[in-house]
């Protein structure tokens, strides 16, 4: 499924984020930036040790990465050029600022991609795995945040959501259909 937002094509596909030949892929990391399971594990495994080396340097400089923030490393052996590491919120019921932090994770990642001069960026479904954010709500918050940012005008040509399974893709498709053009 696709939708044009200003200059940018918003695309929803099923797939593996480590296989995307885009300028930047976004990692759903944790504040330590030292790797983990899910997307994070897959990106470090496929990209190789160069990614962790740069993460260690970033942590030395800034300490832990606050939820909602985003930082950039090489993509190592991935087909992408950069990895943008962000941290989504851990779901604690929804009244602890989770939607704001999730929106920030997407928007800060888009800003890093724009600063890098990227033309294409791929996102996973942040916070909906280990971090437990309910899928339907996360899909709506993610798409609203990305669309609102792109509507302000962006040099990005494509923002791709790479969703790992049919139910996750279906949730994002439903959420996008419900958002009026
Ligand atoms: N490509 C695309 N999506 C994937 C892939 C992949 N290769 N692998 C898993 N997913 P999660 P979170 C989907 O848990 O909830 C890590 O340990 C997955 O099916 O990766 O933000 C970090 O270190 C789900 O839909 O991220 C953190 O500690 C989505 O990606 C913590 O997990 C997100 O699941 C972050 O948790």
pLDDT tens column, 146-172: 999 999 999 999 999 999 999 999 999
Q: For position 28, what pLDDT does the model report?
A: 98
Residue 154 DSSP class: -
Q: Report helix, strand or coil for 158.
A: strand
Mean pLDDT of 130-147: 98
Phi and psi at residue 163, to the nearest 5°: -110, 135
Give the whole-angstrom CA distance, residue 145 versus residue 142: 5
Burial of 78 (0-12, 13-18, 19+ CB in 10 A): buried
pTM exceeding the 0.95 threshold for the entire prediction: yes
Residues with CB under 6 A from ligand 1: 16-18, 28-30, 36-40, 42, 88, 124-131, 162, 164, 168
Residue (of 134, 127, 135) closest to 167 by Cα position? 135
Dihedral of the alpha carbons of 132, 138, 141, 144, in degrees to the nearest 10: 150
Residue located nearest, by CA, to atom 3 of ligand 1:
164
Q: Report helix, strand or coil for 83.
A: strand
Give the whole-angstrom CA distance, residue 87 versus residue 35: 12
Query: Residue 105 pLDDT > 90, yes or no?
Result: yes
Residue (of 163, 150, 58, 158) closest to 111 by Cα position? 150
Q: Report helix, strand or coil for 86.
A: strand
Q: How confident is the model at residue 58 (pLDDT cuts 50, 70, 90)?
A: very high
Q: How far is the CA of 41 from the centre of ligand 1 (A)?
A: 8
Q: How far is CA 124 from CA 67, 74, 85, 147, 153, in A?
A: 16, 18, 11, 16, 22
Give the whole-angstrom CA distance, residue 59 versus residue 83: 15
Give the whole-angstrom CA distance, residue 82 versus residue 109: 11
Hunting for tokens 């400089």 — which residue is that?
61
Q: How far is the CA of 14 from the centre of ligand 1 (A)?
A: 14
Q: For position 180, what pLDDT does the model report?
A: 76
Q: Which of 129, 139, 160, 171 to mutate to test the pocket of ligand 1 (most atoms within 8 A of CB)?
A: 129
CATH 3.40.50.2000 fits 2-178, yes or no: no
Residue located nearest, by CA, to atom 7 of ligand 1:
16
Mean pLDDT of 57-73: 98
Where do the structural domains in the chain lie, given as residue ranges? 2-178
% pLDDT > 70, the chain: 100
Give the whole-angstrom CA distance, residue 8 versus residue 67: 26
Q: How confident is the model at residue 181 (pLDDT cuts 50, 70, 90)?
A: confident
Q: How far is the CA of 36 from the centre of ligand 1 (A)?
A: 9
């Amino acid at each position: 499924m696709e939708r044009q937002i200003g200059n940018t094509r918003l695309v929803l596909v099923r797939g593996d984020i480590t296989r995307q030949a885009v300028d930047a892929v976004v990692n759903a990391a944790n504040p330590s930036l030292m790797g983990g399971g899910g997307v994070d594990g897959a990106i470090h495994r496929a990209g190789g040790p160069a990614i962790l080396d740069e993460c260690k340097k970033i942590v030395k400089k800034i300490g832990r990465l606050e939820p909602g923030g985003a930082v950039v490393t090489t993509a190592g052996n991935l087909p992408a050029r950069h990895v943008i590491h962000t941290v989504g919120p851990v779901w604690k019921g929804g009244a602890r600022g989770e939607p704001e932090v999730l929106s920030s994770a997407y928007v800060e990642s888009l800003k890093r991609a724009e600063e890098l001069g990227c033309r294409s960026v791929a996102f996973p479904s942040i916070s909906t795995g280990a971090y437990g954010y309910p899928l339907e709500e996360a899909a709506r918050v993610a798409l609203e945040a990305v669309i609102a940012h792109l509507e302000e005008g962006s040099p990005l040509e494509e923002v791709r959501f790479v969703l790992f399974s049919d139910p996750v893709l279906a949730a994002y498709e439903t959420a996008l259909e419900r958002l009026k053009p």
